[in-house]
Amino acid sequence: MPRLIEVAICVFAQCVCVLGILIGLGFVTPLLKYATSAIQGQPWHAGELARLIALVCGPVLVGLFTFVGLAWHLWSSQVTRQRMRQYPDQPWMWQVDWAEKSIRLSNHKTLWVTIIASALYGLVVVPMGIYFASLKNATLVYLFLGAVGCFLLIFFRLLWVNRCWNRSSIQLETLPGVIGGRFEGAVTIPELIPEGTVMRIALRCDMTRSTRSSPDGREDLVDMVTGMERSRNGQSSSLTQTIYEDIRQLTVTRTSLESAATVLPVSFQIPGKLPSSGKQPLLASDGLSHRTRINDYCDWRVQVRHEQKSDLREIIFEVPIFDLGNAAISKHD
One-letter amino acid identity for 199? M
Say what the pLDDT of residue 238 is. Answer: 84
Q: What is the pLDDT of residues 190-207, one digit of tens each?
A: 988 888 899 999 999 999
Provide the greatest CA pair distance for the chain. 79
pLDDT of residue 329 exceeding 50: no
What b/e string do you get for 140-162 counting C-beta neighbours within 10 Å, with b at 16 or more? ebeeebeeeeeebeeeeeebeeb
pLDDT tens-place string over residues 44-53: 899 999 999 9
How long is the chain? Answer: 333
Question: Which contiguous run of DSSP H or E holds residue 222?
Answer: helix 221-226
Measured distance CA(9)–CA(240) in Å, rounded = 27
Residue 327's pLDDT band, with cuts at 50, 70 and 90, is very low
Q: Is the dihedral of CA 306, 301, 162, 147 positive or negative?
A: negative
- Alpha helices, DSSP H only, in 1-137? 2-25, 28-39, 46-86, 96-99, 108-120, 126-135
| pLDDT at position 218 | 52
User: Which CATH entry fits the domain spanning 168-322: 2.60.40.640, 3.40.5.50, 3.30.1340.10, 3.40.1380.20?
Assistant: 2.60.40.640
Q: Please tell me the predicted confidence (pLDDT) of residue 228.
A: 45
Query: Beta strand 177-178 with 321-322: parallel, antiparallel or unpaired?
Result: parallel
What is the amino acid identity at position 329? I
CA dist 122 and 57 (Å) reads: 10
CB 204 within 8 A of CB 300: yes
Q: Please give the pLDDT value at position 328.
A: 40
pLDDT for the residue numbered 234: 57
Terminal C-alpha separation, the chain? 11
Is the predicted pLDDT of residue 226 greater than 50, yes or no? no
State which amino acid sits at residue 103: I
pLDDT bracket for residue 253 (50, 70, 90): confident
Q: What is the average pLDDT across 139-154?
A: 94
DSSP letter, residue 35: H
Over its C-alpha atoms, the chain yields an Rg (Å, rounded) of 25
Residue spans of the domains in the chain: they are 2-86+108-161, 168-322
Residue-level pLDDT at 215: 54
Task: Give dist(CA 91, CA 84) in Å, integer.
Answer: 7
Structure confidence at residue 254 (pLDDT): 82
Which one has a higher pLDDT value, 311 or 314?
314
Which range has the top average pLDDT, 131-145, 231-245, 256-270? 131-145
